[in-house]
Structures are given as C-alpha cells and as structure tokens.
C-alpha cells in the first residue's frame, strides 16, 4: 500500500523532538488531514498525549517487541486510513538495545518501515558545526533514510545562512527552523499527567505552536517527503479465534489511575474474539457483571492511593474475583493495586485489594528500568514452562514480593532476576507485556477466560 509516512528523529534526547512533533501533528490536524501518530519504543505517555490532546490515532512501534513482518503489519493496520503518519523517534537516532546496538533504535524502525527521516538538530550554541554533525549521521549506516532537517533554537536572522550551507554541502533538504519559544514548551508533567481540566489549556498552547510552525516550517515539503515514501507491503498474521466472537468478556481498568495499556494488545484480544469492557477502579463500585477475565493496567495508582483505598466495595469485588480464580493480568500499577498496602506519593500507606500478602513502597530511583525477555519457570496462565514473552519495566515503586514464576533477562546483558506471581489464573508483576511478541500468551489467557463462569 502507498502509506505516506515520515519520522522525526534527532542526534540525542533533549533536541526538541516531542515539542516539534506535537506542533506538527497539531498543524496537520488543523489543516484537516486524517493523521496517525506513532512513537518508537515502549512509551505509553506520548501516544496517550497525542490521542487525548491532539486528537490523532496513536500507537507504538518497537522492533525489540516484534519481528519486521509484525512491525510492518501493526504500522500498516493503523496507518491505512490516514492521509499521513508521523513517527516520533526515541533517544538518539542510532541508540538501541543496551546502549550498544542499533537494534530497536529509531534507525531500525525507519529501515524496517522504509520511512523518510527528518532530523531535528538543537542548534543552541551551534552554527557551522552542524555540518560535520549531520555528515557523521549520514555516513554512519547504509542505507540511510535521513532526507531532511529542522533546525531547532535558531534565530530568524541566522537561519538563511545555515540552510544554504547545509544544502550546499549535504544531500539534505532543510525544512525550516524553530526559534526559542519558552512560553510554548510542554512541561514533562503535561506529557505524563494530562488531567481533564488541562486539556483545553494545552490545546490552546498547541494551537499557538502550530501557528508558529506554519510560518517557520515548510509543511508542504514535509507532506511531499512523506508522500514519496515507498510502498509498504504487509500481511495480517494468522491468529486463533474463539468459537463465538464477543461471548468472552474481559474487563479492562481504564481511568486516571490505570491508563497504561498497549492499544495493540487490546486489539489483538478483540481480533481473537474477546469483548472488552472498560471499568474504573477509582469510580465504579464493583467489577462489571458478566465478565470472565480481568486486566488491571499500569498507570498511577500511587497518585490516587486515598481514593482507591476508600472505594472499599471495588477492592472487595476485585479481591473476591481474583482470589476466586477469575483470570487476571495485572501489570505494574495493576500489580501494585493487588498488594495488601501501597505507599502513596503523599507518603501515606493505604490498604489495597490484598490479593497478594505484600506491601508496596516508594523508592527514590527507577527500579529495573528497560526491556526484558521473560521466561516461564513453571507452567502458568500465560506461558508454558520455558516459553518466552517480551516486555519492559519502568517503575519508581517496589514490592516486598515481586514473585518468582518467571525469569527476566536484560537483552545483550548478563543481568537477570526472578519476578512475577504466576499461576493457572494469574499474571501479576512489574513487567508490561507486549502480546505480539508471543500471541499465544494472549490466546492462552482467553482460553482460561472462556471456561470461566460469568462473574455475578
């Protein structure tokens, strides 16, 4: 299919990728284009921000989680109804697994999907030195996908000379510049915690940013570069199907406290025939009636400890269901929710569902951050002994009991550890899973659900 697409990447984090990506997406939406957006890597926050605030269909692209043919399928499935798809890179363009490989880097994604790349260079304290910097990135790897450049933090007066020098010496098209705009910078809090009352304010800020970029960037050339991307071939994988579509119902936690769920995971469950039912552990009184499975997503339960603990009817409902054998996947924040107690961000300790006889507490630094491959050490709901699935960890909170039913292995490193409470009906642990890295895990979960009597 002819799928217009383009990636915004950079030499390093802190170059302005996220700000400029959000501004360009808003400009495209304001022009009336059907726009899809993607983020390289295991990131929930940017896609959530794009969908809630900017209004684009958004998802993840990750070549650690998925083989090339699945990566192309997931992209093509999401991009086929869009007039343009914009991909935001991660870290530096070539930075991949363990910091020692280009695998799972922005470059790897660009190569897998044949995406033209526009480089964003932060030129603060930089002028003609931008030439060897860009030349090095162009010559490091073949085939190169870098075709354009945007100069960030450049003055209107300096821009014409820098554009001329780059285009005279390098095979790149300069698509514009972005001046210093401290009043339009998106704080990290915004990207992580978008509250309903903030959305209108953020949309106003993004509209101002989009108006600025319409003046300083060549959006038409940006669109033309995306339109010139080569055709992309992809095929849907064969997945098993439940006997009767929609008969198996799975409740999915979805509210301010539980909001980290891969869209592709949920869509795979639906493709297999599940019916997904959203509910709120914060606001609802009990689990939905008629469900046969439960997904407690990751998120921010530590920021809502008091409200979650006061909703005692929901805590009781979850405890009775999970302890009674309802198939349950609880990742990170959902895992914390199943503990006996949770230390909130306010430093107070709150009672939780009590499925696990352990307490969860805060640490001052990230614990076990990054990609992992999980191997089952025994037969359990999601995996048979010896089988693997991929995921990632990102958490400041810790548990007195992380479990021991799986072994997590860091890619390209020797470090490993035991984790996860796994049984015939439970997956509870810090790692966030990506089902397309092993679709049989999703299928085994649904088969467990299928034989369960409906709740309530």
102-161 confidence digits (pLDDT tens): 999 999 999 999 999 999 999 999 999 999 999 999 999 877 799 999 999 999 999 999
CATH level 3 topology of 249-450 = Rossmann fold (3.40.50)
| C-alpha separations of 395 from 306, 337, 359 in Å | 20, 14, 15
pLDDT, residue 185, reads: 75
pLDDT, residue 191, reads: 45
Q: How confident is the model at residue 192 (pLDDT cuts 50, 70, 90)?
A: low
Q: Which two three-digit tokens encode residue 430?
A: 């810090």
Q: What is the rounded average pLDDT of the residues 299-315?
A: 96
Please indicate whether residue 332 is annotated as part of the active site: yes
Q: Kind of pairing, strands 328-331 and 84-88? A: unpaired
Q: What is the DSSP string of 233-270?
A: ---PPP----SSTT-SEEEEE-SSSEEE--HHHHHHHH
Q: Which two three-digit tokens encode residue 421?
A: 């409470």
Tell me whether residue 94 is exposed, middle or buried, using C-beta atoms within 10 angstroms of its C-beta: 0 to 12, 13 to 18, 19 or more: middle
The Cα 334–Cα 300 span in angstroms is 9
Domain-by-domain residue ranges, the chain? 5-227, 249-450
Say if residue 174's pLDDT is above 90. yes
5-227 and 249-450 in the same fold: yes
Considering only CA atoms, which of 99, 87, 107, 79 is closest in space to residue 43?
A: 87
Q: Which two three-digit tokens encode residue 402?
A: 């992380």
The answer to whether residues 407 and 377 touch, using CB atoms and an 8 Å cutoff, is: yes
Q: Which two three-digit tokens encode residue 43?
A: 């990131």
Torsion, CA 193, CA 403, CA 455, CA 263, rounded to 10: 40
pLDDT, residue 189, reads: 47
Higher pLDDT, 222 or 50: 222
Among 22, 40, 123, 332, the one annotated catalytic: 332
Helix (H, G, I), strand (E, B) or coil at 96: coil
Backbone phi, psi, residue 455, to 5°: -65, 135
Q: Which two three-digit tokens encode residue 58?
A: 């958004």
Backbone phi, psi, residue 304, to 5°: -130, 30
The Cα 263–Cα 226 span in angstroms is 24
May I ask the CATH class of domain 5-227? alpha beta
Q: How confident is the model at residue 190 (pLDDT cuts 50, 70, 90)?
A: very low
Say if residue 195's pLDDT is above 70. no
Helix (H, G, I), strand (E, B) or coil at 150: strand
Reported as a single tens digit per residue, the pLDDT across 404-453 is 999 999 999 999 999 999 999 999 999 999 999 999 999 999 999 999 99
pTM above 0.85, yes or no: yes
Element (H, E) at 314: helix 312-323
Least confident of 164-173, 187-196, 374-383: 187-196
Q: What is the rounded average pLDDT of the residues 172-200?
A: 73
The Cα 89–Cα 48 span in angstroms is 16
Q: What is the rounded average pLDDT of the residues 10-16?
A: 92
Q: CB 388: neighbour CB atoms within 10 A? A: 15
């Amino acid at each position: 299919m002819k799928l217009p697409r383009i990636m915004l990447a950079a030499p390093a984090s802190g170059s302005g990728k996220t700000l400029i990506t959000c501004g360009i997406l808003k400009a495209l939406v304001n022009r009336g284009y059907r726009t899809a957006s993607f983020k390289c890597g295991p990131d929930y926050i940017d896609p959530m921000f794009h969908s809630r605030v900017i209004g684009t269909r958004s998802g993840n692209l990750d070549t650690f989680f998925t083989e090339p043919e699945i990566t192309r399928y997931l992209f093509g499935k999401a991009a086929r109804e869009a007039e343009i798809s914009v991909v935001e890179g991660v870290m530096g363009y070539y930075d991949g697994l363990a910091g020692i490989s280009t695998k799972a880097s922005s470059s790897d994604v660009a190569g897998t999907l044949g995406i033209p790349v526009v480089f964003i260079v932060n030129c603060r304290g930089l002028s003609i030195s931008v030439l060897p910097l860009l030349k090095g990135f162009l010559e490091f790897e073949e085939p190169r996908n870098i075709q354009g450049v945007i100069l960030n933090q450049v003055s209107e007066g300096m821009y014409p000379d820098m554009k001329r020098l780059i285009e005279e010496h390098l095979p790149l098209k300069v698509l514009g510049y972005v001046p210093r705009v401290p009043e339009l910078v998106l704080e990290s809090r915004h990207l992580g915690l978008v509250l309903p009352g903030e959305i209108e304010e953020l949309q106003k800020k993004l509209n101002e940013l989009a108006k600025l970029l319409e003046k300083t960037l060549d959006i038409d050339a940006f669109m033309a570069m995306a339109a010139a991307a080569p055709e992309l071939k992809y095929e849907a994988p064969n997945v098993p199907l439940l006997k009767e579509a929609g008969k198996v119902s799975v409740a999915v936690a979805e509210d301010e406290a539980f909001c980290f769920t891969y869209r592709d995971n949920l869509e795979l469950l639906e493709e297999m025939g599940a019916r997904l039912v959203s509910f709120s552990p914060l606001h609802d009184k009990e689990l939905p009636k008629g469900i046969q499975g439960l997904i407690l997503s990751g998120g921010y339960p530590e920021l809502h400890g008091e409200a979650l603990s006061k909703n005692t009817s929901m805590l009781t409902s979850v405890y009775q269901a999970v302890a009674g054998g309802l198939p349950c996947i609880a990742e990170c924040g959902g895992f914390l929710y199943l503990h006996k107690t949770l230390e909130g961000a306010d430093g107070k300790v709150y009672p939780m569902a009590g499925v696990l006889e352990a307490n969860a507490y805060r640490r001052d630094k990230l614990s076990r951050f990054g990609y992992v491959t999980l191997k089952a050490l025994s037969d359990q709901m999601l995996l048979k002994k010896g089988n693997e699935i991929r995921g990632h960890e990102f958490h400041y909170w810790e548990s007195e009991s992380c479990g021991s039913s799986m072994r997590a292995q860091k890619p390209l490193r020797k470090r490993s550890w035991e984790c996860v409470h796994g049984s015939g009906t439970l997956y509870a642990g810090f790692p966030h899973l990506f089902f397309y890295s092993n679709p049989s895990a999703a299928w085994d979960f649904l088969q467990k659900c299928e034989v369960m009597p409906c709740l309530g």
